[in-house]
């Protein structure tokens, strides 16, 4: 099952069911071994993760990888990172948070997308450092990590849409 990104930025992630261990004396197996459900009988469940929740950044990075599994490893360039910072700042300070028009202003959307993917791969500490770097370069207070991550997800979703 793949990760699904909803329009509101939430992610629906698959969760493996917990394995149950039966004590040796209570085991149903003939050899006294604990029986666990096979992968065929175990049902896969899902969980909705919201920006800022534990595991969200990692799930968003995984979702992005699932969108294009043949993509080479991400490489962040100075120019791409600079444009990505301006982009995230513009979206965060836009009254309507419009991603499409902000993307249209980019010189190199591919480099900006790669820079944002590079930020995601680093997890929460990387997103926090990126938000602080944006505040230093563009002014204002740093975005909370969950807001920066949500914007990054929206940008990547727009860049990857046909």
33 & 72 share domain: no
Q: What is residue 26's predicted lDDT score, i.e. its pLDDT? A: 53
71 & 28 share domain: no
Q: Residue 31's pLDDT band (boundaries 50, 70, 90)?
A: low
> How many independent structural domains does the chain possess?
2
42 & 80 share domain: no
Tell me the per-residue pLDDT of 70-88, one tens digit each, with 9 for 90 and over. Answer: 888 777 889 999 999 999 9
Tell me the per-residue pLDDT of 54-66, one tens digit each, with 9 for 90 and over. Answer: 888 888 888 888 8
Q: CB within 8 A of 136, min separation 6: which ones?
A: none
54 by Cβ neighbours in 10 Å (0-12 / 13-18 / 19+) ranks as: exposed
99 & 42 share domain: no
132 & 90 share domain: yes
Domain that holds residue 20: 4-50
79 & 142 share domain: yes
Q: Could you give the percent of the chain with pLDDT greater than 90? A: 31
Helix (H, G, I), strand (E, B) or coil at 135: helix
Backbone angles phi, psi at 157, to 5 degrees: -65, -40
Q: What is residue 114's predicted lDDT score, i.e. its pLDDT? A: 92
């Amino acid at each position: 099952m793949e990760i699904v990104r909803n329009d509101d930025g939430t992610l629906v992630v698959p969760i493996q069911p917990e394995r149950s261990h039966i004590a040796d004396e209570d085991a149903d197996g003939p050899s006294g071994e604990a029986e666990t459900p096979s992968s065929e009988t175990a049902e896969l469940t899902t969980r909705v993760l919201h920006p800022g929740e534990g595991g969200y950044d990692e799930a968003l990075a995984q979702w992005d990888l699932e969108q294009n599994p043949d993509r080479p490893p991400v490489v962040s360039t100075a120019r791409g990172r600079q444009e990505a910072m301006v982009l995230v700042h513009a979206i965060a300070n836009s009254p309507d948070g419009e991603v499409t028009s902000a993307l249209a202003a980019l010189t190199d959307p591919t480099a900006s997308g790669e820079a944002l993917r590079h930020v995601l791969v680093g997890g929460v500490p990387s997103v926090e450092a990126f938000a602080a770097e944006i505040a230093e370069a563009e002014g204002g207070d740093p975005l909370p990590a969950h807001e920066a991550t949500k914007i990054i997800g929206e940008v990547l979703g727009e860049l990857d849409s046909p």
